[in-house]
């Protein structure tokens, strides 16, 4: 069974190098594999594999421009990811608002009562059947 696009995108972005590649494409625009590989202490082949994972997840595409094969960041998948995150952010925010309301309605002069200590029978008394 193939993973849905959202799961594939989040899985692809789980790696810090791939997240950095995406960040660099977002800031600097399209780039070649050589340009993207430049700051890393990994092989060109390793960067190509990272880009392949991103491409399979729909995060980037590669095109042909004469002799260059620039890597392009795809915005659509980020819109899908953002919508998913935003949905749950709104739900969490609503829970925090309700908690704030509950806390605001609590009286200010609540005094804590120390917990009552439950006395347990001694272990030896339990083992021998004696009464403590």
| Predicted pLDDT at 127 | 59
pLDDT above 90 covers a percentage of the chain that reads 62
- Whether the predicted pLDDT of 67 surpasses 70: yes
| Predicted pLDDT at 63 | 84
- Separation of alpha carbons 3 and 127, rounded Å: 57
* 44-53, 99-108, 109-118: range with lowest mean pLDDT: 109-118
- Separation of alpha carbons 70 and 63, rounded Å: 6
Q: How many CA atoms lie within 13 Å of 75's alpha carbon, on the beta-carbon side? A: 3
Q: What is the mean pLDDT of residues 27-48?
A: 92
């Amino acid at each position: 069974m193939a993973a849905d696009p959202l799961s594939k995108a989040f899985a692809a972005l789980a790696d810090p190098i791939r997240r950095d590649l995406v960040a660099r494409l977002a800031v600097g625009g399209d780039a070649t594999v050589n340009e993207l590989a430049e700051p890393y202490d990994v092989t060109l082949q390793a960067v190509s594999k990272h880009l392949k994972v991103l491409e399979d997840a729909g995060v980037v595409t590669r095109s042909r421009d004469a002799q260059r094969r620039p890597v392009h960041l795809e915005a659509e998948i980020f819109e899908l990811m953002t919508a998913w995150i935003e949905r749950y952010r709104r739900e969490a925010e609503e829970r925090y608002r309700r908690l704030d309301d509950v806390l605001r309605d609590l009286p200010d002069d609540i005094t804590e009562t120390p917990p009552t200590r439950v006395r347990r029978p001694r272990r030896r008394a339990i083992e021998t059947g004696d009464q403590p």
